[in-house]
Amino acid sequence: MEQNIKDFLDNYAPGNHWSSKSMELSRNEDKGTYWYLKKFVTFYYYVFIQKKLDRDGLRQISAIFENYCNSVPEEARDKAFSFFFERDLRKIDEIITLNEYLFNTDAIANDSAEMDNARKYYFSYLLNIDEQNPEKELIFTTTIAERNYFKGIKLAKDLFEDKEKFKKLVPDVHAFLRNQRQILYVLGLVNYTKINNKEEYAPTDIGKHIVFANYNEMILLLEIQKLRQVSRNPLVIYSEDYNRPRNRQIKENADKTIINKGHICSHPYLVLLRYLINNKELSTKNYMFIVSRLSNLHNLENCVKLTVENVDVLPIMVNNKDKEYYTPGSNSGSDDFVLRPEDFSKEYKKYVQGIFSVDADYNSNLLSIGKLGTHVCKISNLDKASALYKNYFNIVKYLDDVYNAIYENIDNVHNKKYATHINRGRYNYKNPIYLAAVEDWLNYFVSSNTNIIRMMLKTVSEMNGLQKQNIKKIYPYLCEQVLKVKTAQDIENMFKNTALLEIETPVVVVRNKVTENMLITESKKYLNIMNDFTLERKRNVALRDQYASFKMQHNHDICEICGNKLAKEVNGNYICNYHHILPFNEAGALGPDHYLNLIGICSNCHDKLHSKITCNERKEMYNAILINSCFTKDVFERILKMYKDGYLFNASLEYAVAMGMITESQKIEIINSRS
């Protein structure tokens, strides 16, 4: 054990603590898992994003809450309805609408700071926040009593003798929102920007999913966000005086260990689970002194066996090592350090909530492997815990395979930033390398990666022995709206690959310049399949990747049917579906894997093409390809070229005529082109 302690301390570095923003949005201990988060995010979406919350909008929120309440355990439903309808939106005539509350005779601009402040008051009203400070409560309740922010503020101002104090209190009524919006940002549920000195938080894909998710879907989505996190080095407070010997030593130690050795834990959640399964339980104290200090440099086989209970001297040794690096915070006593025990307690609960049930869950949490106590969580089902860890390990391996470059970049820029601060330098936050790494990281962290969702559904299925058909019933929004799983065959397809559940593999960006000649060469591989029917007919992923890269490298950022701009994906290409004009798998079509048979389109157009549309509707959509495609050829020209070069059978032409892609006379012209 002494060697284990030495190994642990040698590779331990202050500044690698996993503490960041805790998940305080789930702080209600007498409520079910993430109830408060669901309520908060839903109201936030409608008030700050939609910005027009009339009676119809209130009815939509009521329907969302009712759906969520009906998805919680039956024993908890009455409690859930009481919580979500604490301010009962179903009593529509009694509720103030956002439009009514914001109505202003002075016509203040909709995007002004004052209008933004009014929305924050209205958000507090919906969330039914009780203000502790009597003066702030007076301001707030006056606006609610008047059912209008602007009228209420004028009346409240007359109640204050000290007008300057009133002016300072008005924007501080909703102080709780500042911290909680930052938490949403850390969780990847909102994006943050600053426009005209005003903070703007827009929902991410994951954030939007949270709005419409039910009880089980909420838990699954938050688990995904935990798995995607990487550990970041919080800055340590140092004294300004580097002439003092102790502070010079602090700097030298930091240079030697934290920066040069790269103490970082890329996947802290997985490390925590490994420790937990090995020890069958995890206490707040063990998390504080051991687990949150582990890094990639540790030998986990040895470190997971460390426990504070078995090694009485470990807290003392860790605290002593902390003292080599930390100086007290500005408001702390001489024996306190920058990171406090309560920080670790909050962070510990953030990680384990979701896989350890609380009382209001009534053992219904499908990802639960035990019970969450006040100071310790214990595994009650080791088989489920092992299945959870095995699947999470595969998900992390998948993340590493696809996004390793993004992980490395964000680690590097954080370490360089950290080193600059330690050396008392001024870090250039406008550095293009830094900005690119952060943008890539944020895009990755907030994206709705359907492969991870599929793998999480596989995790739930294995842990609970669920039938595949039940998955769609338990996770209806994720299956139908996100994964587009609609039929029994869709479910079979989703689960057919036990190693990696994916309908379409992630696009891999081709770094070298892609030319049309390269696409022609890659397309020729399909001729081998046509000439030898013993070969398996499967999609050429390399061709799809080259096509995606061609679009990106030529800045072709629109859907090739509707022309709408595409969002950018974390891998560098655009977020779009790659569709075969002549279907690849449909009987009779025999659509080839050829670059002229491929188009990159948005999900809306893709869904429409795979639905029951008329020939005229399909023809109208395909006519737009000439204008919007990165290759200026219409469908007729494409089919003509592919047939002439030997990629199509006559049956394919018959299919094209039947589907309204070409006319009968065009078919004859195409056939004659070979002669």
pLDDT at position 334 is 46
The distance of Cα 127 from the centroid of its chain, to the nearest Å, equals 24
The token pair at 84 is 């979500």
List the one residue out of 599, 598, 621 whose CA is nearest residue 608: 621
**Between residues 421 and 120, the one the model is more confident about:** 120
The rounded distance, in Å, linking the Cα atoms of 144 and 140 is: 7
Predicted confidence (pLDDT) per residue in 108-161, tens digit: 777 678 888 999 999 999 998 876 688 999 999 999 999 999 999 999 999 998
The rounded distance, in Å, linking the Cα atoms of 50 and 44 is: 9
pLDDT at 194 over 70: no
Cβ neighbour number for residue 423 with a 10 Å cutoff: 13
* DSSP secondary structure string for all residues of 299-342: -HHHHTT--TTT-TTHHHHHHHHHHHH----TTS-TT--SS-HH
Note whether 4 and 305 are within 8 A (CB): yes
The rounded distance, in Å, linking the Cα atoms of 367 and 392 is: 12
The rounded distance, in Å, linking the Cα atoms of 323 and 312 is: 19
pLDDT at position 206 is 86
* Helix spans in 380-539 (H): 382-422, 432-446, 450-464, 468-474, 476-477, 488-495, 516-523, 525-531
Note whether 368 and 81 are within 8 A (CB): no
pLDDT at 548 over 80: yes
The 3-state secondary structure of 529-546 reads HHHCCCCCCCCCHHHHHH
The token pair at 11 is 């590779």
pLDDT at 483 over 60: yes
Angle, vertex CA 671, rays to CA 624 and CA 525, nearest 5: 75
Secondary structure of residue 146 in the 3-state scheme: coil
Predicted confidence (pLDDT) per residue in 26-75, tens digit: 555 667 888 989 999 999 888 887 777 889 999 999 999 999 999 998 99
Note whether 571 and 508 are within 8 A (CB): yes
List the one residue out of 97, 173, 92 whose CA is nearest residue 140: 173
pLDDT at position 263 is 61
High-pLDDT (> 70) share of the chain, %: 80
Secondary structure of residue 109 in the 3-state scheme: coil
pLDDT at position 230 is 77
In sequence order, which residues have a C-beta less than 8 Å from that of residue 641 and are 6 or more positions away? 596, 633
Please give the average per-residue pLDDT across 503-512, as a whole number: 62
Burial letters 499-536, b for 16+ CB under 10 A, else e:
ebbbeeebbbbbeeebeeebbeebbeebeebeeeeeee
pLDDT at 533 over 60: no
Poorest-confidence range of 107-121, 222-236, 500-514, 630-644? 500-514
The rounded distance, in Å, linking the Cα atoms of 84 and 86 is: 6
* DSSP secondary structure string for all residues of 187-214: TTSEEEEEETTEEEEEE-HHHHHHHH--
Q: Which helix (H) or strand (E) covers residue 290, if one does?
A: none
pLDDT at position 101 is 93
Please give the average per-residue pLDDT across 625-637, as a whole number: 92
How distant, in Å, are the alpha carbons of 206, 345, 460, 640 from that of 368? 22, 20, 10, 58
Predicted confidence (pLDDT) per residue in 248-282, tens digit: 555 555 554 444 455 667 788 888 899 898 889 99
pTM strictly above 0.95: no
pLDDT at 23 over 90: no
Note whether 478 and 220 are within 8 A (CB): yes
pLDDT band at 232 (very low <50, low <70, confident <90, very high): low
Q: Of the segments 103-107, 425-429, 546-550, which one has the largest average pLDDT value?
A: 546-550
Predicted confidence (pLDDT) per residue in 354-401, tens digit: 898 888 888 888 999 998 877 888 999 999 999 999 999 988 888 887
The token pair at 337 is 């350090």
The rounded distance, in Å, linking the Cα atoms of 661 and 620 is: 9
pLDDT at position 239 is 44
The token pair at 62 is 């009521």
Predicted confidence (pLDDT) per residue in 436-450, tens digit: 887 777 777 777 777
The rounded distance, in Å, linking the Cα atoms of 285 and 344 is: 9
Note whether 231 and 410 are within 8 A (CB): no
pLDDT at position 182 is 78
Predicted confidence (pLDDT) per residue in 492-505, tens digit: 777 664 343 333 45
pLDDT at position 235 is 47
Poorest-confidence range of 251-255, 602-606, 664-668? 251-255
